[in-house]
Structure 1
């Protein structure tokens, strides 16, 4: 539930700002990108001068989104009068941008992760929202500028990607009503779905193949590892596991799926997915990460084999206490991070 007071305070911060810095998380997904771009268009329409930034380059499959080319990886030093973060459970998620810019600025934190640490001057956080763009839809309705086709396209992209095409367990009739409204404004659902869900680089498919050859399963957990050497051989230079964890959770034997992706610096990114009735968010939080009950992640020290043993041991212990809570009909569709 979105707090009316948080909406009021968010509107106040945005109305007072003239040169806001808008930032989303490293390894951006469709919700992060759609959130950043939609608010950028809203503020531009109000005569403001926002800077849109993300440490990592956006995946090319999102190039159809209006404003894609306006995002910078190294924002100028300012001056800025407001920092707005999108889809970040904690401030570290914006990467090096947060280390060099934004200190001392009022901070508007807009997010839907259950593990959000409430790090903002104002926290517009709703864990029951299906995406951060879901929250932004309601916020923008309280702002002077109406939702146009550009904004609608960006908002709908977040809804589509974070619900895997409206298939997650948290999708409600209200979400469909919002989607219909955005389509009536002009958002192209088919284009959004094709580019954000159905297309991926050839290297990502090769990464999936490599991961599947290393697949293991035991006691309700399906997992695989992606060593740096394998990624380099394939030519994968994208983010994380390229969506492999979403594929693994479709296995009938899986209650939880895990992908361990080794990084060039020796650290290991861990991506969790779960079926409804199980919660992987608190394991991720315990390991320094965060996310949702059904989709979470963290980054832990290597080496890869030791990281795998550490996580699986904790996971099996935790799952043993959760098994009796599994619903008879699990729905099989976890929510992406």
Structure 2
């Protein structure tokens, strides 16, 4: 893609400048009043989701709160080095009552999955802490803290810790760093400035944990099977009027032991290709009820915007990096999405440039 030499797109989050949003004044009070808190992040979590969720746990526990963390779906092994990773629960493992629900790094209620249907939760206050500009403000009125000027949700959690006047433990710092690394692409995107780096310095130490180890684990590891999948898919990419795309069937995403392989590293490779103005990874999934859906991950050049299209298709994200899920097979979804990219993102007549 043009305008971003050497960029490596390892997550959904790409920064565009927005006016900062102040923390709602009710946030410290609602946290102070709650004794038992359920903290949630979105399905298919990335480093910012895990980092903000687990850092919040350590911060709130240091304040004397009982905290349960949850994510709907299988855990991502790549983040198993984070303190608190093993304690993250799925909806079927949630027990007891709570005083408050806190949801981090999540732009819409459907992304918390089965948690939204748990008995008793809808009657509680919901505090949403997020930095996605497409956030649907689904928290309790007055408790939606959405600041799209922040590079990561972890930056907001750090601000919360400071507002609560809570010192950061080594565990909290490690988790916050992972989110900042993930969503700043290791400090390589436009929004990285002196203010951001000052916040990074706050979570580095001194000597509270192995900084280099956390950086290497956050950015550098995939399995052998995932690398082979990446090689296969990249050999099948197609370029169509500036749209570079590849499709992955549900069979291709299944490992030798029946596990679902992660696709980390694939979309950024597509986005790095100079001829591509928009890059798309289509991932087909067969649902438990036999239906098929396709997850679309979108990236684009700096002068374009894929978030509006993703939002129109039922998803969301950022100007330069967004995604959505559509019912149907690859054969049905791919031509529809590519046609809409040409029309609504690139401004091309459907059928060619």
Same-fold call, TM > 0.5?
A: yes
Determine helix, strand or coil for the equivalent of 1:166. Answer: coil
- Tell which has more relative contact order, 1 or 2 (C-alpha 8 A, sep 6+): 2
Q: C-alpha distance in 2, partners of 1:147/1:259?
A: 38
Q: C-alpha distance in 2, partners of 1:233/1:76?
A: 29
Query: Which of these residues, 219, 225, 231, is aligned with residue 209 of structure 1?
Result: 231
1:119-140: CA deviations, max 9, x gaps? 1111111011101001111111
CA shift at 1:234, angstroms?
A: 6.1
Matches within 5 A, 1:146-225: 146-185=167-206, 186-225=208-247
1:139-167: CA deviations, max 9, x gaps? 11101321121111111110001111111
2:310 alignment counterpart: 284
Higher helix share: 1
- Structure 1 segments, 4+ long, off by >4 Å, are 233-236
Q: C-alpha distance in 2, partners of 1:240/1:123?
A: 31
1:306 alignment counterpart: 332
- Does structure 1 retain, via aligned residues, the 8 Å contact 2:254–2:260? no
Query: Which of these residues, 38, 55, 74, is aligned with residue 57 of structure 1?
Result: 74
Q: Which moved more, 1:240-249 or 1:251-260?
A: 240-249
CA shift at 1:172, angstroms?
A: 1.9
- Does structure 1 retain, via aligned residues, the 8 Å contact 2:38–2:101? yes
Q: Unaligned stretches of 5+ in structure 1?
A: 323-337
Q: C-alpha distance in 2, partners of 1:22/1:111?
A: 13
Q: C-alpha distance in 2, partners of 1:299/1:133?
A: 25
**Is 1:231 aligned to 2:249, yes or no?**
no
- Does structure 2 retain, via aligned residues, the 8 Å contact 1:20–1:50? yes
Q: C-alpha distance in 2, partners of 1:237/1:249?
A: 27
1:43-96: CA deviations, max 9, x gaps? 111111111111123322212211112211234242111111011000111111
CA shift at 1:191, angstroms?
A: 1.5
Q: C-alpha distance in 2, partners of 1:259/1:309?
A: 13
Determine helix, strand or coil for the equivalent of 1:248. Answer: helix
- Does structure 1 retain, via aligned residues, the 8 Å contact 2:255–2:261? no
Q: C-alpha distance in 2, partners of 1:206/1:275?
A: 28
Structure-1-length-normalised TM-score: 0.90
- Does structure 1 retain, via aligned residues, the 8 Å contact 2:253–2:262? no
CA shift at 1:313, angstroms?
A: 0.5
- Does structure 2 retain, via aligned residues, the 8 Å contact 1:203–1:235? no
2:99 alignment counterpart: 81
- Does structure 2 retain, via aligned residues, the 8 Å contact 1:34–1:155? yes
- Does structure 2 retain, via aligned residues, the 8 Å contact 1:84–1:107? yes
1:326 alignment counterpart: none
1:107 alignment counterpart: 126
- Does structure 2 retain, via aligned residues, the 8 Å contact 1:255–1:275? yes
Q: C-alpha distance in 1, partners of 2:55/2:138?
A: 22
1:42 alignment counterpart: 59
Determine helix, strand or coil for the equivalent of 2:253. Answer: helix
Determine helix, strand or coil for the equivalent of 1:108. Answer: strand
The RMSD of aligned alpha carbons is: 1.8
Structure-2-length-normalised TM-score: 0.86
Determine helix, strand or coil for the equivalent of 2:205. Answer: helix
Q: Unaligned stretches of 5+ in structure 2?
A: 1-18, 349-353
1:288-309: CA deviations, max 9, x gaps? 0001111111110111111001
Q: C-alpha distance in 1, partners of 2:245/2:176?
A: 33
CA shift at 1:236, angstroms?
A: 7.4
